[in-house]
Amino acid sequence: MKAPSINTESQSALGAEKYFRDVTASAEEEPPGKMLIVGRREDEPPSTSAQRRRFFGHIPNSLWNDWKWHFRNRITTIDELARYIPLTAEEQSRLKLVTVKYPLAITPYYLSLIDPNNSEDPIRKQAVPVFDEIALAGIGFEDPLEERRDSVVPGLVHRYPDRVLMVLTDICPMLCRHCTRKREWCHGGWMRTPAEIEAMLDYIRNHKTIRDVVISGGDPLTLSTPHLESVISLLRKIEHVEIIRIGTRFPVVLPQRIDDELCAMLSKYGPIWLNTHFNHYRELTPEAAAACDRLVRSGVPVNNQSVLLRGINDSVAIQSKLCQGLLKIKVRPYYLYQCDEVEGTEHLRTPVEVGLKIIEGMRGYTSGLAVPTFVIDLPQGGGKVPVQPNYIMAQTGDELLVRNYRGHIYRCHNPRTRAKARPMLMPVPVKVAVPAKKEGSRDADRLSLRS
Ligand code: SF4
C-alpha cells in the first residue's frame, strides 16, 4: 500500500476527485458537494456507533454503506477536521503547516471510530496529523527501503527472487501518519497507464522464476473492480504465477469497499491472498469483521500486517487483544513490523526491544496462531528479517539449555552428529513346554496358543 492523490490545504481536491470519477464511472449519482452536518433523518434506523450518530447521523444507510460515498467525502483539510475534532486556532495553524508537506485524508467511517475528545486516542493518532511530523524532520529517510532502486520497470519492484511487487496506484482511502511511502503523498494522484501495466506484465511473463505477485500501492482496491479485474485476469494467464497477493487497508479504514461485486470477482481468480493492516483492537468493528468474513467466504485468506507504533499498540495487552480479536474474525496475525525509519514518523517509532518484549509476553500466554512474527524491514533494501526473543540460554556439546515462556530452564539433546546404531542382539529361541491336552478341559487350545 502506498500513497494518495490527496489535497493539501492549498491544493484543491480536483485531481483526486477527477481520477476517482474516472475509475468509478459507475458510481451512483449523489447530491453534489461534501457532507453537511444537519439533523439525522427520521427514517434512518439509529446507528450502533455513537460517533456515527453524532457526526453522520443524517447520512442514510444507503450512502453510509457505499464506499464511493465515503471516498468522495473524505476529510482532507484541517478546517473540515476542526468541525469534528476540537482544535484550537493555534493547533489548526500548526497542523496546516504539517499538511503542506504531509497531507490529510480520513474516511468518514474511520473518523467515526475516533474519540474526538482524547488527543491520545490510538485511532486518532493514526489519522490526524501532529506537529512532530515536521518538527522532527531530518530524522529518518524519505525512501528507507530504497524501493526506487529495485524498480525494474515503472511500478514493478523485483527484490526477492521469486516474487514481485506491482504498484498500480499511489492513491489510498486514508493517509496513515506512519506510512512508509509518505514521500509520495505530495506527488500523488496517479494510476498506472495501460502501457505501464502491460510493461509490468511483460516483465513477469519473461521471468519464469516469479511465482508470487503482490499487488499494492497506494491501495489497489482504490481502483474500480472491473479495472482491477482487467489486471488480475491477465496475471492469471501467466502460468508460472502461482499466487497473487493484494495489500490493502480498506478492510480497516473503509470496509464497505469489500462488497459482493469485489468478492465475486476475486473468487474467480484464486489463489488470491489478501494482507491487511489492523493496528488496534478498536478497529475490529462489526463492519470490519463482516468485510473479512465476506473475503474468507469467497476463498480469499486474510492475513494481518500491523506496525508497532508508540502510544498506539506498543504493549503486550493491546497486541494480545488485537491478535486474539483478529483470530475471532478469521484473520491470521502475520507480521508485526518495526516501524520503518521514515522521515515524518519518528514520534511513532519505538525501540526494537519493545517489540521483542511484546512477543515474549505473548508467546506461551496465548495461542501460537495469535503471535505474529516481529520483523524489521532493513534499510537500504536489505529485506525483512525476523527478530525474536532468545530462548536458547547456552549450548554445550550435544546439549542446549532452553528457557520456556515462564523462564524455567530445560536441557535438550541436540543431535549434531548422526547416532551410531547399537549392534542388535539376536533373540535366543526359548523352548516352551506345552502342557498335555487334557480331555474335556475348557480353553485347552487357547492355553497352548498363549504359550
Ligand atoms: S499505510 Fe496507509 S497511507 Fe500508507 S500505503 Fe497503506 S493505506 Fe496507504
Whether 127 and 203 share a structural domain: no
Catalytic residue positions? 159-160, 163, 172, 176, 179, 181, 340, 377, 384
Overall average pLDDT of the 17-40 stretch: 33
Mean pLDDT (the chain) is: 84
CA–centroid distance, 203 to ligand 1, in Å, is: 26
Q: Which ligand 1 atom minimizes the distance to the CA of 175?
A: 3
- 87, three cell numbers: 482544535
In DSSP notation, 84-108 reads TS---HHHHHHHHHHHHHS---B-H
- 167, three cell numbers: 504498484
Question: Measuring CA to CA, how many Å separate 139 from each of 146, 342, 346, 347, 350?
Answer: 16, 8, 7, 10, 14
**Helix count (H) and strand count (E) of the chain?**
17, 13
Q: Per-residue pLDDT for 302 more than 70?
A: yes
- Dihedrals φ, ψ of 170, to 5°? -110, 15
Q: What is the pLDDT of residues 316-327, one digit of tens each?
A: 999 999 999 999
Q: How far apart are CA 106 and CA 173, in angstroms?
A: 7
Q: How far apart are CA 244 and CA 420, in angstroms?
A: 47
Of the listed ranges 178-192, 238-252, 268-282, 358-372, the least confidently predicted one is 178-192
Overall average pLDDT of the 97-108 stretch: 96
Whether 86 and 194 share a structural domain: no
What is the percent of the chain where pLDDT is above 90?
A: 69
Whether 122 and 248 share a structural domain: no
Whether 169 and 110 share a structural domain: no
Neighbours of 334 (CB within 10 A): 17
Residue 390 lies in a domain: no
Q: How far apart are CA 97 and CA 262, in angstroms?
A: 38
pLDDT of 110:
96
Q: For the domain that residue 349 is a member of, what is the CATH number?
A: 3.20.20.70
24: closest CA among 174, 217, 222, 194? 222
Which of 336, 367, 385 is the endpoint of a domain? 385
Instruction: Name the most confidently modeled range: 219-233, 404-418, 430-444.
Output: 219-233
Residue 422 lies in a domain: no
Domain that residue 95 falls in: 14-135
Which of 385, 410, 442 is the endpoint of a domain? 385
CA–centroid distance, 392 to ligand 1, in Å, is: 37
Overall average pLDDT of the 197-223 stretch: 96
CA–centroid distance, 316 to ligand 1, in Å, is: 24
Domain count of the fold of the chain: 2
Whether 335 and 187 share a structural domain: yes
pLDDT of 222:
96
Ligand 1 pocket, mutate which of 165, 172, 178, 190 (most atoms under 8 A from CB): 172
Q: Please, which pLDDT band fits residue 362 given cuts at 50, 70 and 90? A: very high
Q: Would you give the DSSP letter of residue 160?
A: E
Residue 111 lies in a domain: yes
Measuring from atom 5 of ligand 1, which residue has the nearest CA? 2
Q: Which ligand 1 atom minimizes the distance to the CA of 2?
A: 5
Overall average pLDDT of the 353-378 stretch: 97
In DSSP notation, 208-240 reads TT--EEEEESS-GGGS-HHHHHHHHHHHHTSTT
Residues with CB under 6 A from ligand 1: 1-3, 172, 174-176, 179, 181, 218-219, 249
